[in-house]
């Protein structure tokens, strides 16, 4: 793990505007920067970056946070991957927390395998572009497939010389260890001999989500060789083909933006579609689709469109993949190509616009697809038709969402002319059977669902609303001094009780802290309580409230909430109100009123809750005389608070 000192150094060094500027075109807007959202399609800027606060907010999607959270959202890095990316950008040496010898060895081995894989990628790519054999055989093959030079470079395609030890000798000469060449599968070692695994093949590097080279796919070009047409790297500490998707690194941003992923079978399908402008596409790397691969896509979108080859036998064999996608709670559509084409061949036949239109308009939901494929086989045979219906209901049974299940059952009933009652009964049987063999899933008995009544919008949590406002005031103005008002009860010369106005200066954080301490108020929202505790800890240590400690907090939830709150008031700047002669009065001029109102409102809500509790107790005949008096006292106090807030009870 990366140690805390290194993480702090990364946050202190990284500049959010510099990092985001590599992905989003930013323009100066006062003390901030603004630009078009990288997460949604829009024509007017709603994306704001604050260099002063070192945070960002996308008002169109609601996302926001610090420099690390941007990389996690935009590049889909994990937290450690984002930190390592920043460390590399700013030349910061990463120090790990104390690891035992075994952990260090495993970490060193994995890193060594990554380094060798990246060297191999560059070596194969260089051979393809600059070596005579590479250009004559490998580069010619890719150009015959219609790939442009920029596409070849983008996917870092390569070629392995048709020699037994060409790559291995170069790697050993560069002092890479044979142990790691063997572990990655780049070199096959047999007793005292070693030879290149991908000898005489064009090379397709396989990347992780963050762009690291995991392994390779190699296609043999010789028509006389008695070897497998495609060959993948073997399973290793860094590569497992059942957990990798070819093209995910190049597709991730487009998948998230389009909110859909096209799933194809082969490397060339991915590359051809990319070159045609369809970038939200990945392939299952020559293996049957697995739950791990589906979950990788689910990190980016809940929607998958499976692009099948026109071959009927291949379609039947791939049907199980649809059930796996449904089982992960994802939405799946299916598309086949005419005249026996696959995605690669069809994309080369038509223009980019025609391809785009076909992909948008032709997908079917999985039920209509299954019926269109399997009903041809059933023809007029009632037994085969019954089997088809059971097959479809089996697919429906793996869907976790009950509402989706009902909708699909109704659609199946309509298309297959079978009563809904029979289908729901069969669905219940299949789910019950599955629950016995798959105990980890909490299946309930399925009955025909009643019409779901439209739910009312949830009520706003008033306590959380004012708790959030307190945090906002502390973050924005906690270090400032302001003139507060207090009313002191005194006696005049005649002994009458009068209220005297007293104005005193205090730090905002001190004023809020004393008020909350007086009433022993605790936050109901645990995240707000953590933020408040951090702020008050700094205050009690006589330190200034440092918003960066919170916007860069190690708990991502705390950092996210802080960033959202800090950017709340920046939204109006996107509209250039000043240019339209709309003057926004700064809130700083009303700090005492802001503090007073939020504290009084918080007390008001808490008192109302207390009155409700005691009133319920009285209604349940579990009260005593003192309870009635307490309600009267609380009601009087509540009236006083309303008076101070200039409200009517």
How does pLDDT run across 97-145, given as a tens digit for each residue? 655 666 666 667 888 999 999 999 999 999 999 999 999 999 999 999 9
44 assigned to some structural domain: yes
Between 493 and 441, the more confident residue is 493
Between 33 and 647, the more confident residue is 33
Residues 502 and 601 in one domain: yes
197 assigned to some structural domain: yes
Cβ 527 vs Cβ 561: under 8 Å: yes
578 assigned to some structural domain: no
238: Cβ contacts below 8 Å, ≥ 6 apart: 110, 113, 114, 117, 184, 212, 214, 215
What's the rounded mean pLDDT across residues 32-51?
86
Confidence at 447, pLDDT banded by 50, 70, 90: very low
Residues 421 and 471 in one domain: no
Cβ 65 vs Cβ 56: under 8 Å: yes
Which SS3 state, helix, strand or coil, does residue 411 take? helix
452: Cβ contacts below 8 Å, ≥ 6 apart: 403
Residues 230 and 255 in one domain: no
The whole-number pLDDT of residue 545 equals 79
Residues 159 and 289 in one domain: no
Residues 363 and 431 in one domain: yes
How far is residue 358 from each of residues 69, 270, 351, 362, measured CA to CA in Å? 36, 16, 11, 6
The enclosing domain of 114 has a CATH number of 3.90.980.10
What's the rounded mean pLDDT across residues 404-413?
89
Residues 421 and 483 in one domain: no
- Per the DSSP assignment, residues forming a β-bridge with 335 are 307
Structure tokens belonging to residue 454: 């439209």
Q: Which of 204, 239, 274 is the last residue of a domain?
A: 239
Residues 68 and 114 in one domain: no
The whole-number pLDDT of residue 177 equals 93
Domain count, the chain: 4
The whole-number pLDDT of residue 575 equals 60
How far is residue 483 from each of residues 210, 288, 518, 550, 620, measured CA to CA in Å? 52, 70, 20, 27, 47
The enclosing domain of 18 has a CATH number of 3.90.580.10
The whole-number pLDDT of residue 104 equals 61
Residues 209 and 290 in one domain: no
- How confident is the prediction for the chain on average, in pLDDT? 83
- Domain range for 278 is 248-437
431 assigned to some structural domain: yes
98 assigned to some structural domain: no
The whole-number pLDDT of residue 455 equals 41
Residues 430 and 487 in one domain: no
464 assigned to some structural domain: yes
Strand order through the sheet with 64-65: 27-29, 32-35, 47-50, 55-58, 64-65
- pTM score above 0.75: no
Separation of CA 414 from chain center? 37
Does position 596 have pLDDT exceeding 70, yes or no? yes
The whole-number pLDDT of residue 537 equals 79
Q: Which of 422, 437, 452 is the last residue of a domain?
A: 437
- Pairwise CA distance, residues 616 & 505, whole Å: 42
Residues 193 and 71 in one domain: no
- Could you say which DSSP state residue 228 is in? -
Between 598 and 41, the more confident residue is 598
The whole-number pLDDT of residue 103 equals 62
565 assigned to some structural domain: no
Residues 160 and 266 in one domain: no
- Could you say which DSSP state residue 579 is in? G
342 assigned to some structural domain: yes
- Pairwise CA distance, residues 30 & 127, whole Å: 51
Confidence at 444, pLDDT banded by 50, 70, 90: very low
- Could you say which DSSP state residue 297 is in? H
Q: Which of 239, 271, 304 is the last residue of a domain?
A: 239
- Pairwise CA distance, residues 265 & 282, whole Å: 8
Which secondary structure element, helix H or strand E, spans residue 511, and what is its range?
helix 508-518
Confidence at 544, pLDDT banded by 50, 70, 90: confident
Low-confidence winner among 4-8, 83-87, 228-232 (lowest mean pLDDT):
4-8
What's the rounded mean pLDDT across residues 564-584?
65
Which SS3 state, helix, strand or coil, does residue 139 take? helix
The whole-number pLDDT of residue 195 equals 94
The listed range with the strongest mean pLDDT (335-349, 513-527, 569-583) is 335-349
What's the rounded mean pLDDT across residues 55-67?
87
Residues 287 and 433 in one domain: yes
């Amino acid at each position: 793990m990366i140690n805390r000192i290194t993480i702090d150094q990364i946050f202190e060094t990284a500049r959010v505007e510099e990092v985001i500027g590599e992905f989003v075109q930013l323009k100066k807007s006062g003390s901030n920067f603004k630009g078009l959202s990288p997460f949604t399609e829009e024509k007017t800027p709603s994306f704001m970056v604050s260099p002063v606060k070192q945070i960002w907010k996308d008002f169109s999607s609601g996302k926001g946070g610090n420099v690390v959270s941007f990389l996690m959202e935009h590049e889909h890095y994990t937290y450690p991957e984002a930190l390592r990316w920043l460390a590399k950008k700013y030349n910061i040496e990463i120090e790990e927390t104390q690891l035992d010898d075994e952990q260090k060895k495993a970490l060193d081995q994995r890193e060594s395998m990554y380094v060798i894989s990246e060297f191999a990628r560059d070596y194969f790519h260089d051979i393809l572009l600059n070596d005579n054999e590479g250009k004559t055989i490998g580069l010619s093959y890719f150009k015959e497939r219609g790939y442009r030079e920029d596409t070849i470079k983008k996917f870092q395609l390569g070629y392995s010389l048709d020699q037994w030890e060409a790559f291995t000798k170069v790697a050993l000469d560069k002092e890479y260890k044979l142990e790691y060449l063997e572990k990655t599968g780049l070199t096959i070692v047999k007793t005292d001999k070693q030879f290149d695994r991908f000898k005489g093949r064009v090379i397709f590097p396989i990347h992780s989500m963050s762009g690291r080279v995991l392994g390779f796919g190699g296609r043999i070009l010789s028509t006389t060789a008695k070897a497998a047409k495609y060959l993948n790297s073997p399973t290793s500490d860094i590569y497992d083909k059942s957990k990798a998707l070819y093209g995910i690194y190049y597709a991730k941003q487009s998948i998230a933006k389009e909110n859909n992923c096209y799933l194809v079978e082969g490397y060339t399908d991915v590359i051809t579609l990319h070159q045609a402008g369809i970038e939200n596409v990945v392939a299952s790397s020559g293996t049957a689709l697995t739950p791990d691969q589906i979950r990788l896509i689910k990190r980016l979108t809940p929607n998958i469109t499976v692009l099948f080859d026109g071959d009927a036998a291949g379609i039947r064999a791939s049907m199980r993949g649809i059930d796996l996608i449904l089982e992960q709670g994802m939405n799946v559509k299916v598309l086949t190509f005419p005249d026996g084409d696959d995605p690669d061949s069809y994309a080369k036949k038509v223009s980019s616009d025609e391809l785009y239109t076909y992909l948008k308009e032709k997908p079917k939901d999985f039920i209509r697809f299954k019926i269109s494929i399997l009903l041809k086989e059933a023809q007029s045979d009632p037994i085969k038709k019954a089997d088809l219906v059971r097959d479809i209901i089996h697919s429906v049974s793996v869907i976790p969402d009950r509402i989706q299940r009902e909708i699909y059952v109704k659609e199946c009933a309509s298309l297959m002319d079978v009563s809904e009652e029979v289908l729901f009964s069969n669905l219940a049987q299949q789910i019950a059977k599955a629950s016995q063999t798959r105990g980890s899933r909490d299946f309930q008995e399925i009955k025909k669902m009643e019409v779901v009544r439209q739910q009312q919008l949830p009520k706003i949590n008033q306590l959380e609303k004012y708790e959030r406002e307190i945090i906002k005031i502390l973050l924005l103005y906690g270090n400032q001094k302001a003139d507060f008002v207090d009313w002191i009860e005194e006696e005049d010369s005649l002994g009458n009780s009068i209220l005297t106005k007293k104005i005193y200066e205090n730090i905002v954080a001190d004023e809020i802290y004393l008020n909350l301490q007086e009433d022993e108020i605790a936050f109901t929202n645990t995240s707000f309580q953590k933020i408040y505790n951090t702020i008050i800890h700094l205050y009690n240590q006589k330190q200034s409230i440092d918003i960066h400690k919170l916007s860069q907090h190690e708990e991502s939830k705390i950092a996210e909430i802080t960033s959202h709150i800090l950017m709340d008031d920046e939204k109006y700047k996107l509209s250039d109100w000043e240019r339209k002669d709309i003057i926004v009065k700064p809130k700083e001029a009303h700090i005492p009123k802001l503090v007073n109102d939020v504290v009084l409102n918080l007390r008001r809500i808490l008192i109302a809750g207390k009155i409700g509790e005691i009133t319920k107790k009285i209604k349940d005949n579990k009260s005593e005389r003192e309870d009635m008096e307490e309600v009267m006292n609380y009601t009087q106090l509540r009236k006083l608070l309303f008076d101070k807030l200039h409200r009517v009870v």
